[in-house]
């Protein structure tokens, strides 16, 4: 019997990928981990207290003076490139679980207006552009537009006022858009606004045009309804389904419970970090084999809020939770894998995700010492590595290769 626990610290990057500046040149300086450590040392008058992350080898992949460069724990550590376009939580988790995102692209709605218009018209809808802008008004009630709250071109939205159309109608339009959209997500959004949605349309970054959803009042007026329609993926060839078919109990915690597919999984949605950690510990304490995938979302929220001190406090809270997990994962074959899904540098000067490498820190009770792994090319390799730890064939995933330790051993 063995347990594999994947803890995703949402938005925890360890330095910019080579293409990080393609959209925003300043992002070549992104370093979520390093900048949070620096700013928190200044703000708190002390280094962040991250003894467990240090012992798991974080300092081996991020040479920051506040992190130990060596560890005697039985770990394998490395960095992972994202392996999907942009920097997005949904795409990151789907890729990590073994999805093939090679057909998903970053695209503005303007580049596909004719195709989307044709699909909606064929479905019986009335479609027209809004005042010559590259977004569509459907049935006089729903705007189809670029999502302005994520990186440009990652997601499209279908947004409507619920006093003008019910959510089922918004969702039907979103599903039609999804059928031709090349992007990772099409998001159906319904809410209540004080005036017509066209009053809240604005230009975004990277040539996008869309609805300023926070300005509409959707988030503060109550009654918000949202459904995320992901790209067409073979969920049967992702890690949770692979484990479930092998009879391994699967628990999805935090945001992972909201965005990962597995009919047999136990779901424990939560945002509060303490609650996420408590659910994770409960799942590990259960008898028998287990796959647990947990997402710590509050780190990402702190990044969006550009609140470095809050981010640091969340990291310290996570570190304490990891100590408790390590005390439970002591058997041969057990694995604790700590990683991220993208970066979210709170010091970079904007509220978007940053395209960074993420750490992969793997605790292996039966191993001797610490080993350094080569940089992996995709988060899918994390899923493949977890599959192998569970005795599953990584070839059963749609994407990913097991990460193997390099010959170099760290003392």
| pLDDT tens, per residue, the chain with 411 residues | 799 999 999 999 999 999 999 888 999 999 999 999 999 999 999 999 999 999 999 999 999 999 988 888 999 999 999 999 989 999 999 999 999 988 888 899 999 999 999 999 999 999 999 999 999 999 999 999 999 988 899 999 999 999 999 999 999 999 999 999 999 999 999 999 989 999 999 999 889 999 999 999 999 898 999 998 988 889 999 999 999 999 999 999 999 999 999 999 999 999 999 999 999 999 999 999 999 999 999 999 999 999 999 999 999 999 999 999 999 999 999 999 999 999 999 999 998 999 999 999 999 999 988 999 999 999 999 999 999 999 999 999 999 999 987 644 454
Domain with CATH 3.40.720.10 in the chain: 3-104+233-410
Characterize 266-282 residue by residue with b for buried, 16 or more Cβ atoms within 10 angstroms of its Cβ, and e for exposed. bebbbeebeebbbbbbe
**How far, in Å, CA of 387 to CA of 393, rounded?**
7
For residue 266, the cross-strand partners are 251
CA distances from 223 to 145, 163, 170, 171, 258 (A): 21, 11, 14, 15, 19
* Dihedrals phi, psi of 240, to nearest 5 degrees: -60, -45
* Six token digits for residue 219: 């988030």
pTM: 0.88
Q: What pLDDT does residue 411 have?
A: 40
Q: What pLDDT does residue 407 have?
A: 46
CA atoms within 13 A on the CB side of 373: 25
- Highest CATH level, class, for 3-104+233-410: alpha beta
The enclosing H or E element of 47 equals none
**How far, in Å, CA of 126 to CA of 135, rounded?**
14
**How far, in Å, CA of 299 to CA of 313, rounded?**
9
- Highest CATH level, class, for 109-230: alpha beta
Domain with CATH 3.30.70 in the chain: 109-230
The enclosing H or E element of 41 equals helix 32-44
Cβ neighbours of residue 65 under 8 Å, at least 6 residues apart? Answer: none
**How far, in Å, CA of 120 to CA of 173, rounded?**
7
For the chain, helix (H) and strand (E) counts, in that order, are 13, 17
**How far, in Å, CA of 8 to CA of 93, rounded?**
9
CA distances from 211 to 106, 129, 202 (A): 18, 14, 6
Q: Which of 305, 379, 381 is nearest to 88 (CA)?
A: 379
Q: Which of 366, 365, 373, 357 is nearest to 409 (CA)?
A: 373
């Amino acid at each position: 019997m063995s347990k594999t626990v994947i803890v995703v610290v949402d938005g925890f990057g360890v330095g910019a990928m080579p293409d990080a500046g393609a959209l925003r040149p300043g992002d070549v300086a992104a370093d979520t981990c390093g900048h949070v450590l620096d700013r928190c040392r200044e703000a708190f008058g002390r280094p962040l207290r991250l003894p467990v992350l240090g012992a798991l080898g974080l300092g081996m992949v991020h040479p920051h003076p506040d992190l130990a460069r060596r560890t005697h724990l039985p770990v394998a550590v490395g960095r992972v490139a994202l392996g999907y376009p942009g920097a997005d939580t949904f795409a990151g988790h789907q890729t990590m679980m073994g999805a093939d995102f090679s057909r998903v692209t970053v695209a503005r709605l303007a580049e596909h207006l004719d195709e989307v218009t044709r699909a909606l018209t064929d479905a019986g809808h009335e479609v027209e552009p809004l005042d010559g802008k590259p977004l569509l008004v459907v049935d006089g009630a729903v705007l189809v537009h670029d999502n302005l709250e994520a990186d440009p071109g990652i997601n499209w939205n279908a947004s409507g006022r619920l006093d003008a159309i019910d959510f089922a109608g918004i969702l039907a339009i979103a599903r039609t858009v999804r059928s031709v959209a090349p992007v990772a997500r099409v998001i159906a959004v319904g809410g209540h606004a004080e005036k017509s949605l066209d009053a809240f349309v604005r230009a975004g970054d990277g040539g996008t045009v869309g609805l300023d959803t926070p300005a509409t009042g959707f988030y503060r007026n109550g009654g918000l309804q949202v459904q995320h329609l992901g790209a067409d993926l073979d969920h049967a060839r992702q890690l949770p389904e692979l484990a479930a078919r092998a009879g391994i109990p699967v628990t999805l915690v935090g945001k992972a419970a909201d965005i990962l597919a597995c009919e047999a999984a136990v779901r424990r949605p939560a945002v509060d970090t303490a609650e996420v950690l408590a659910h994770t510990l409960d799942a590990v304490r259960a008898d028998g084999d287990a796959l647990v995938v947990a997402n710590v979302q509050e780190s990402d929220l702190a990044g969006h809020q550009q609140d470095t001190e809050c981010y640091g406090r969340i990291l310290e809270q996570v570190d304490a939770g990891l100590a408790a997990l390590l005390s439970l994962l002591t058997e041969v074959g057990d694995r604790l894998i700590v990683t991220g899904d993208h970066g979210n540098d709170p010091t970079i000067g904007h509220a978007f995700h940053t395209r960074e490498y993420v750490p992969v820190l793997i605790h292996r009770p039966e191993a001797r010492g610490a080993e350094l792994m080569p940089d992996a090319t995709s988060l899918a390799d994390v899923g493949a590595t977890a599959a192998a730890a569970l005795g599953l064939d990584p070839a059963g995933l749609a994407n990913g290769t097991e990460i193997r330790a390099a010959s170099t051993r760290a003392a």
